[in-house]
Structure 1
Amino acid sequence: MQILIIEDEPRAANQLQNLLNKSTFDFQLLDVIDTVEDAVLWFKKNNAPDLVFMDIQLADGLSFEIFQQTEVVAPIIFTTAFDQYAIQAFKVNSVDYLLKPIQQNDLDTALHKFFRSNTPTTIVEPDILKKLLNSMQIPQKRSGILVKEGGGFVQIRVSELLYMYSQDSITFGVTHNKRYIIDETMDQLFDSLDDTKFYRINRGQIISKMSIQKIEPYFNHRVKLSVSNPRDQEFIVSRQKTGDFKDWMNK
């Protein structure tokens, strides 16, 4: 069985290859591709493989864009780290997928399903492609933010913010040198931030990963953070979020 992997994270691509090696199926890995552009060129120049494992988010865009630029007749198993809301789009449209991090049992089940089927596991029809594209559009996270200064507003870079907090119904943003008033609620603010860089540790505080200097155990199964320029704030991760926070720090 000839397999093509389209995946932009080397670690994820290596993990998938290791899982394939541990499976009971014989395969030949044709190539590992990490961009939409290179995938389009590959499909135009080569015969279709027996099976493609295709990540959704590639280095230069969504992998669905491949189908808009060239014909892909090979069966596809998508791999994705999207949340459960986005996964629902796959289920509704009967598209095969593996949720990252991929587990050996899930991969083996997908391969067994592939071999039992007399038809390709996934044929990406135009209407299904449109629905998936609409469901998987990734909003652009803001790079700048308006803050109050004097009698008006100035824009600062989001990357300058160490943390944000709410006090007496006012939202503040703190940089290395200054504290600003932000004319947004904590909910509005967090929804617009890159959640790989910022984490809402409790209802009243959002922390930047770059500002965290130390993590210490705290009572009641919580953790306490030491951050840059803490001013008069204590940073306690709520008990419900402690496990998820540690996972976020490991990414």
Structure 2
Amino acid sequence: MKILIIEDEARAANQLQILLKECFFNYDLLGILDSVVDVIDWYQKNAAPDLIFMDIQLADGLSFEIFQKVKIEAPIIFTTAFDQYAIQAFKVNSIDYLLKPIQNTDMQAAIDKFTKNNMSTGIDQAVLSKLLTSMQTSNQRKGILVKDGNGFIQIRTEDLQYIYSEDSITFGVTNEGRYIIEETIDHLIQSLDPGQFFRINRGQIISKTAIEKIQPYFNHRVKLMLLNPRNQEFIVSRPKTAEFKSWLNT
């Protein structure tokens, strides 16, 4: 069994492999890809896998964008931290999914389903387009609950300068200080205004209003100077550089 893992977080990709081993699933790993661009390039050069594990939020966008460029016929098991409305849409279209954090029993159930059917479920392009539009534009939140001492307070998203992950903890920074957010970067980026916030790499989201200066960086990347960096370095990943520049012009 030849599988392809499409996942932009190394820890999550490793966890998938551990779970597959615990479920006694024998496979050959063809590769681990972390971006839409890499997947499209890989498909142009390699034979199709038998099964794909695909994260929804990748380093340079939503994985649904892949289907607009490449014809994928292999069965797909999505891994997702999205809200229930999206999961229901997958179920209606017979697309299997694993909700993060992935549990052993859920993995086993997905494998059992694949083993019994062992065929492509097919992807409805009309539904796919609606999902892509919905996930990019819906539920743009106005506030985020953060830790404050022994309790919680709500900060306005418009006050956020940037969000970053460090040692598996998510932090949000405003002019008033740094706060712990009990949500992942993956989950947060889906509910923030895409005109105001941009995920520049796996672990950082920045607000357009926080950028003071942009500098060229090696390997065709750019480095950002922010108004309140707090000893953080902000480098836009190579797959996202072109999209980032376009975003700044909007």
The answer to whether the Cα contact below 8 Å between 1:89 and 1:135 also exists between their aligned partners in 2 is no
Aligned to 2:2: 2
TM-score by length of 1: 0.58
Counterparts of 1:140 and 1:118, CA distance in 2: 35
Secondary structure (helix, strand or coil) at the match of 2:182 reads helix
The answer to whether the Cα contact below 8 Å between 1:56 and 1:62 also exists between their aligned partners in 2 is yes
| 1:206 counterpart = 2:157 | no
The answer to whether the Cα contact below 8 Å between 1:7 and 1:54 also exists between their aligned partners in 2 is yes
What percent identity do the matched residue pairs reach? Answer: 54
Secondary structure (helix, strand or coil) at the match of 1:102 reads coil
> 1:199 corresponds to which letter in structure 2?
V
Aligned to 1:125: 124
Distance 1:250 1:78, change over 3 A: closer
| 1:51 counterpart = 2:51 | yes
Counterparts of 1:229 and 1:71, CA distance in 2: 48
Q: Give 1:225-244 correspondences, 5 Å limit.
A: none
C-alpha deviation, 1:110, in angstroms: 0.6
Distance 1:73 1:250, change over 3 A: closer
Counterparts of 1:247 and 1:205, CA distance in 2: 10
Counterparts of 1:82 and 1:250, CA distance in 2: 11
Secondary structure (helix, strand or coil) at the match of 1:114 reads helix
The answer to whether the Cα contact below 8 Å between 1:200 and 1:207 also exists between their aligned partners in 2 is no
**Gap regions ≥5 residues in structure 1:** 142-190, 211-227, 231-244
Counterparts of 2:147 and 2:142, CA distance in 1: 12
The answer to whether the Cα contact below 8 Å between 1:56 and 1:78 also exists between their aligned partners in 2 is yes
**Gap regions ≥5 residues in structure 2:** 162-174, 186-250
The answer to whether the Cα contact below 8 Å between 1:76 and 1:123 also exists between their aligned partners in 2 is no
Secondary structure (helix, strand or coil) at the match of 1:137 reads helix
Aligned to 1:70: 70
Whose Rg is larger? 1
Counterparts of 1:250 and 1:66, CA distance in 2: 23
The answer to whether the Cα contact below 8 Å between 1:86 and 1:135 also exists between their aligned partners in 2 is no
Distance 1:139 1:125, change over 3 A: closer
Counterparts of 2:9 and 2:18, CA distance in 1: 14
Distance 1:250 1:130, change over 3 A: closer
Q: Give 1:134-173 correspondences, 5 Å limit.
A: 134-137=133-136
Distance 1:47 1:87, change over 3 A: same
Aligned to 1:79: 79
> Which fold has the larger relative contact order, with Cα–Cα distance below 8 Å and residues 6 or more apart in sequence?
2
> 1:75 corresponds to which letter in structure 2?
P
> 1:192 corresponds to which letter in structure 2?
K
Counterparts of 2:139 and 2:37, CA distance in 1: 21
The answer to whether the Cα contact below 8 Å between 1:90 and 1:132 also exists between their aligned partners in 2 is no
> 2:60 corresponds to which letter in structure 1?
D
Aligned to 1:181: none
TM-score by length of 2: 0.58
Aligned to 1:34: 34
Counterparts of 2:122 and 2:147, CA distance in 1: 40
After TM superposition, the runs of 4+ consecutive aligned structure 1 residues lying more than 6 A away are none
The answer to whether the Cα contact below 8 Å between 2:7 and 2:34 also exists between their aligned partners in 1 is yes
C-alpha deviation, 1:61, in angstroms: 0.5
Secondary structure (helix, strand or coil) at the match of 2:101 reads coil
Counterparts of 2:50 and 2:138, CA distance in 1: 34
